[in-house]
Amino acid sequence: MKSISILSIMALGLSLCLASCNNEPKPAETTPAPTAAVDTTPKAAPVFQPYKAVLVEHTVKDFDKWFEVFKASDSIPKSYGLANPGVGRGLENDKWVIVYNRAADIAKAKEFATSPALKTAMGKAGVNSAPKISYVDVIFDDTTKIPQNERLMVTHHVKDFDAWKKAFDAEGDAARAANGLVLRGMTRGIEDPNTVSILFAITDMAKAKARVASPELKKIMTDAGVDGKPSINWFKWVM
């Protein structure tokens, strides 16, 4: 009887234990935090905003020396509101230099062009020709990265810009690309809006030079109203 009683008590205790365990509250289930949606909508390219710039062309005695002084004197143009400098070196004449700067204020840029500080810096750098300075409105500027850094800049005067632009557009990017040229920039003179400069990247030098020398292009330019001898400069961006 004693053994039965002990077994009964043990069984009763086990039953109470199981009942107690089954009655304990279960931990609350957690809901996973929602994953943030990834925006895969293609981002539109920034809308181009026309701006003003200054182009300076001249020749130097020694390019490396000039470039060293140019970089060391960068605070001078900055103080006149000039920024984002670009430097090109001639391909046919490696002592020919073109310097390009955005201009916040053309009046200040003109002050810079006549400043004693610039004159001193140019003398120190070995500039040996009178600089040609152009103040322009940049009406197209393709700043996307490309592997080519050789450029062609054509500057000419036209009778009527709108008529010339219509003929230029009619020639088309595909025709220019087939001749080794890709449009990268276009400017109009601030003092004379019918003075136009066109900047091309060169993808095939032989084709580009053949195109520039071709009678076909000369006819296109004449028909478009180009009324003076174009200035043609082949150069390479070095900065």
Residue pLDDT, tens place only, 91-139: 999 999 999 999 999 999 999 999 999 999 999 999 999 999 999 999 9
| Lookup: tokens for 82 | 């000039």
Write down the pLDDT at residue 18: 40
- Residue 5 pLDDT grade (very low, low, confident, very high; cuts 50, 70, 90): very low
Where is pLDDT greater, at 196 or 47? 196
For residues 199 and 186, the answer to whether their CB atoms sit within 8 Å is: yes
Mean predicted confidence (pLDDT) in 64-81:
97
Distance (Å, whole) CA 55 – CA 138: 11
Domains along the sequence of the chain with CATH: 51-237 (3.30.70.100)
How high does pLDDT run on average in the chain?
Answer: 88
Among 73, 86, 75, 83, residue whose Cα is nearest residue 103: 83
* DSSP SS3 for 85: strand
Among 79, 70, 132, 128, residue whose Cα is nearest residue 103: 79
Residues with Cβ < 8 Å from 197, sequence gap 6 or more?
55, 134, 136, 153, 154, 155, 185, 186, 187
Distance (Å, whole) CA 216 – CA 199: 20
Write down the pLDDT at residue 47: 86
Mean predicted confidence (pLDDT) in 51-76:
97
| Percent of the chain residues topping a pLDDT of 70 | 82
- Residue 46 pLDDT grade (very low, low, confident, very high; cuts 50, 70, 90): confident
Say which amino acid occupies 190.
Answer: I
Write down the pLDDT at residue 45: 64
| Lookup: tokens for 35 | 């994953």
DSSP 8-class letter at 44: P
Write down the pLDDT at residue 28: 53
pLDDT in tens, 21-40: 445 455 555 555 566 666 67
Where is pLDDT greater, at 82 or 33? 82
Tell me: pLDDT of 158 over 50: yes
Tell me: pLDDT of 219 over 80: yes
Write down the pLDDT at residue 10: 41
This prediction's pTM? 0.81
| Lookup: tokens for 112 | 């810079």
Helix orientation angle between 161-171 and 215-224, rounded to the nearest 10 degrees: 140
